Amino acid sequence: MINRTLIRLKIVQLMYAFYQNGGKEIEMAEKELLFSLSKAYDLYNYLLMLIVAINRYALKQLEHKEEVNKTAHIDEKLNRRFVDNKFAVQLESNVQLEEHKQKMKKTWDNDINFVKKIYDEIVASEYYKEYMEMESTTYEDDRELWRKLYKNIIMKNEELDDILEDQSLYWNDDRSIIDTFVLKTIKRFEEQNEEKQELIADYKDDEDRDFALKLFRRCIQNDEYYRSLISRCVKNWEFNRLAYMDIVIMQIAIAEVLSFPLIPVSVTINEYVEIAKWYSTPKSGGYINGTLDAVCRMLRDEHKLMKA
């Protein structure tokens, strides 16, 4: 789940902070990188727990309505389809999610008003109405409902950003990436796996974890060399006027180009141009693209870059 796009994003954030704090304590900075990545995995589990929280709230509402009807001697059969949604029930019983919940020691209980708002929005949606009016539903229907609800309601909720920021400062910029993994998880669920359905692992393999540490350390160890390459491809007065974030982003990109021969140059440049659009000036993407291209051409001419 912690893919290379997220790793690059975290390294840009932490490298910038590293230099702002005086550029000391490399070992501590590496620990901070790994901790920051682990918090991204916490967010993944916490967003899955939101689905469970919404379903539990819906169940409490239905049970309350049943109790009111019983007291008032109203014989009304309530529709339990949403609360009995097979996917949501399966997710609530998921062993891995429950284990991670115990480690995190976080629940949505303190944000029950937000859970209510999301539930009310769901009930008012066409996705809910169409689902509740279906003649019958399959497991696939139940799972697809939650994919639509998550993509079209939860992902678009801006208040959720504020709530997540209150929970952890590490979650500020992670949500857009983590949301995609929540959707992938929903699509991967199979009824026959019951409570043992596997969630997406924190790291795909040790290679991605090693990628994070190696890239981070190379950026710091060779920063003067990488910056000299940038300076050679721009006029000195231009280098001094570059946005500091642009320099950091290009420095990391060059470290990746020179340290990982199996990653195509175009992939690396495109990734950091996209990051620049988020973290730097409006013109930074185009400028970084041109400068990195010039650096790579220079390295090829000097036979210091031998890859696609």
Instruction: State how far Cα 72 lies from the chain centre.
Output: 48
Nearest Cα to 255, choosing from 213, 201, 202?
A: 213
Q: Where are the alpha helices (DSSP H) in 72-195?
A: 86-92, 95-104, 112-123, 126-133, 139-149, 159-167, 175-188
DSSP code, position 105: T
Looking at residue 237, its pLDDT comes to: 61
Q: Which residue has the tokens 């013109």?
A: 283
- pTM for the full predicted model: 0.90
Q: Which residue has the tokens 């991967």?
A: 188
Looking at residue 189, its pLDDT comes to: 98
Q: How far apart are CA 24 and CA 42, in angstroms?
A: 28
Q: How many CB atoms lie within 10 A of CB 154?
A: 19
Q: How far apart are CA 297 and CA 185, in angstroms?
A: 41
Looking at residue 236, its pLDDT comes to: 63
All CATH 1.10.940.10 domain ranges in the chain, comma separated: 222-301
Q: How far apart are CA 11 and CA 96, in angstroms?
A: 28
Task: Say if CB 262 and CB 271 are below 8 A apart.
Answer: no
The CATH number of 222-301 is 1.10.940.10
Looking at residue 160, its pLDDT comes to: 96
What helix, strand, coil percent values describe the chain, rounded to 5? 75, 0, 25
Nearest Cα to 106, choosing from 36, 170, 33, 47?
A: 47
Q: At what angle do helices 265-279 and 244-259 cross, to 10 degrees?
A: 160
Please give the chain's pLDDT, 308 residues, in tens: 889 999 999 999 999 988 888 766 788 889 999 999 999 999 999 999 999 999 999 999 999 999 999 899 888 889 999 999 999 999 999 999 999 999 998 999 999 999 999 999 999 999 999 999 999 999 999 999 999 999 999 999 999 999 999 989 889 789 989 999 999 999 999 999 999 999 999 998 889 999 999 999 999 999 999 999 999 998 766 777 788 999 999 999 999 999 999 999 999 999 999 999 888 888 889 999 999 999 999 999 999 997 65
Nearest Cα to 143, choosing from 196, 78, 90?
A: 90
> Which pair of structure tokens corresponds to residue 252?
């990391």
